[in-house]
Structure 1
Amino acid sequence: MTTAAPMPVPFPFAAIAGQPHLRQALLLAAVDPGLGGVLIEGPRGTAKTTAARALAELLPGAPFVTLPLGASLESLVGTLDLGHALAGHELKFAPGLLARAHGGVLYVDEINLLPDALIDSLLDAAASGVNVVERDGISHRHAARFVLVGTMNPEEGTLRPQLLDRFGLCVQLRNIGDAAERQAIVRARLAFDADPQGFRAKHAQEEAELAAALVRARALVGDAAALPYGDAVHEAVGALCIEAGVDGLRADLVMLRSARALAAWEGSAAITTDHVQRVAEAVLLHRRKPEAEAAAPAPRAAKPDGSSNGKDEANSAGDEDWGAMPPEPVGIERVKLLRPLIDRTQAAPKKA
């Protein structure tokens, strides 16, 4: 008989250094899980998993659930309990990972490698807080309010734009280039590995303060009458989204909710344009249109019958024929040089 090995204690969230944008995005998603989760892009070894596991510890009684790459859709959303049905009992729903993650953090490493069907189900539940399953003759729904944290390495591929847009926030991590900062992070990690409980005791007060701040912020977000805002906030959100060239209105809604979560986290009396500015990059990073697309020339005007102007087609022929090579002037120049020599040879008298 084998006994399960104890889970390693998590690194304190308060001790995570060098990634301020990551910390803020995770805290905002914890304040308002309805934002749709956080997508973390970055190379290996940039504290993605460490930060997600540490966040779960700040939430009271929160589970930390990891979705493996080989998971099936049934294991994620739940399915029919075949054993219960075959035993002669009524149909019974067997909950999946979404049910286990309720109230906590659902962590998905390398989410870009998952099938689209799993990602769709994840994002649906993360945004709505409810998991709906209709299959095998049963219809079941249950609460699934969790903080979704997905990570990916852009070198291994990305997500389709339709799926990217459904993530609430996005953070891009980079390797730390400051030598002193790298040394401080390494020292902290070595100190934690050498004495986890002693290291955690040094940060216990900060951890307790963060946990209490999350409880207060969640209560503010849940109060519909709290944190008012005016037209200036709406105008700032609209201007930023238009400038980024985003599709649809999801970015506007997420930016307002993110600004509200930040105001709640800081205990502000109202949402201001400063809150909007500080959350804008995380909201727009994965939704912003590429510069090349924004700078593309406008399409040519068409005639009322739908055909293009012949002159425009002639002028743009070089643009459309991408495989054509430009004219080579060398041959023409060579003819100009040889023609006088040919003329002189033909005019010279023949020798007897």
Structure 2
Amino acid sequence: MNEPRKRRVFPFTAVIGQEEMRLALLLNVIDPRIGGVMIMGDRGTGKSTTIRGLADLLPDIEVVAGDPYNSSATDPDLQSSEVCERLQRNETLIIEPRQVPMVDLPLGATEDRLCGTIDIEKALSEGVRAFEPGLLAKANRGFLYVDEVNLLDDHLVDVLLDSAASGWNTVEREGVSVRHPARFVLIGSGNPEEGELRPQLLDRFGMSVEVRTVRDPELRVQVVEQRTAFDNDPDGFSNAVNGNQFALQQRIVDAQQRLNQVSIDDDLRLRISAVCSELDVDGLRGDIVTNRAARALAAFESRTEVNEEQIARVASCCLRHRLRKDPLEQIDSGDRVVKVFCQVFERDGSNDCTDFKLALTA
């Protein structure tokens, strides 16, 4: 019996524009400890398409066969309690490849659907208290995407952020206690016109990007042509960009392996903290995330030392959403970050502080 053919996803490298969003997503894949991405912007700007394309681009992960938590056979931090018990009994684990999970959290989801609940069918038929894993289990070692996150119920947001921060999900239901790994890249998207996000929620996302509708007519026509070509012949379109896809996949894998070798000079750390202090950023998440994002970018660019350019390209994404809102201030929050960065790093700000693009297919 032939396996069902996998549904084609629009290739990540074929997405036109939105460089800042693509860069932020790539850096979170290289170092998931950055803490995820909040994508705010207009409808129909390719947010969901880009995220699904990235999940499809990544190489398969090795998981323990039959395990609902995508457990790793070698990393204890990515193993469910069942797998740990099997290893303690010296059982031989069967390994199988699995596509990086991409899980959508619907707005109407309940806490039980998110965290997991009691398996009613087993309880009734076998009289056994068994746990039915939720979306957090399915998302382990992958992506959890929340569209319209600004409309999500507050209690679900709290549960989601706690799991994203700790990497674990703990459920206590009717005498059943389960703790399983929940390491995922949290991606939220929303339209500012449909409601503002709580500052506490914004701060928990590692990076924030803003996407806007393309205004250039020629670029719009190019986007339409690309999408039409893909819809008419998904296989042919995907095959045409396979070389770019494989090259980027290899760069990501190499960057993940190089990440631990990347260092950042003490003077640059001091300047990053000076930028955060000057911007009056609360807490230390801004400092930590900027350091991590700069190191991930250096690894992606095949470097072992962070330089000022890499910090400049990630500073706005890491800090703009942590600034206190001043209703009387006209300047954009991203521009405020750029202005302070230029002051602290002693740049003139005319050219090199405002346009940091990444050639993803280079």
TM over 0.5: yes
Contact kept? 1:236, 1:273, Cα under 8 Å? no
Q: Which amino acid aligns with 1:115?
A: D
Contact kept? 1:38, 1:170, Cα under 8 Å? yes
Q: Which amino acid aligns with 1:166?
A: R
Aligned to 1:101: 139
Q: Which amino acid aligns with 1:137?
A: G
Percent same amino acid among aligned pairs? Answer: 48
Contact kept? 2:264, 2:295, Cα under 8 Å? no
Q: Which one of the candidate residues 185, 188, 192 is aligned to 1:154?
A: 192
Q: Deviations over 1:40-64 (max 9, x none)?
A: 1011110001001001012222122
Q: How does 1:195-344 map to 2 (within 5 A)?
A: 195-221=233-259, 223=260, 226-292=261-327
Contact kept? 1:236, 1:276, Cα under 8 Å? no
Aligned to 1:38: 37
The Cα shift of 1:97 comes to 0.5
Q: Which amino acid aligns with 1:216?
A: D
Cα distance, 1:130–1:59 mapped onto 2, change above 3 Å: farther
Aligned to 1:53: 52
The Cα shift of 1:88 comes to 5.0
Contact kept? 1:131, 1:144, Cα under 8 Å? yes
The reply to whether residue 83 of structure 1 matches residue 121 of structure 2 is yes
Contact kept? 1:59, 1:211, Cα under 8 Å? yes
Q: Which one of the candidate residues 92, 97, 103 is aligned to 1:65?
A: 103
Aligned to 2:167: 129
The Cα shift of 1:290 comes to 2.3
User: SS at 1:268's partner residue?
Assistant: coil
The Cα shift of 1:6 comes to 7.5
Cα distance, 1:70–1:292 mapped onto 2, change above 3 Å: closer
Q: Which runs of 5+ in 2 are unaligned?
A: 60-98, 331-362
Pair member with larger Rg: 1
RMSD over aligned Cα atoms: 2.0
Q: Which runs of 5+ in 1 are unaligned?
A: 296-352
The Cα shift of 1:71 comes to 0.5
User: SS at 1:267's partner residue?
Assistant: coil
The Cα shift of 1:243 comes to 2.5
User: SS at 1:112's partner residue?
Assistant: helix
Q: Which amino acid aligns with 1:259?
A: A
Contact kept? 1:48, 1:151, Cα under 8 Å? yes
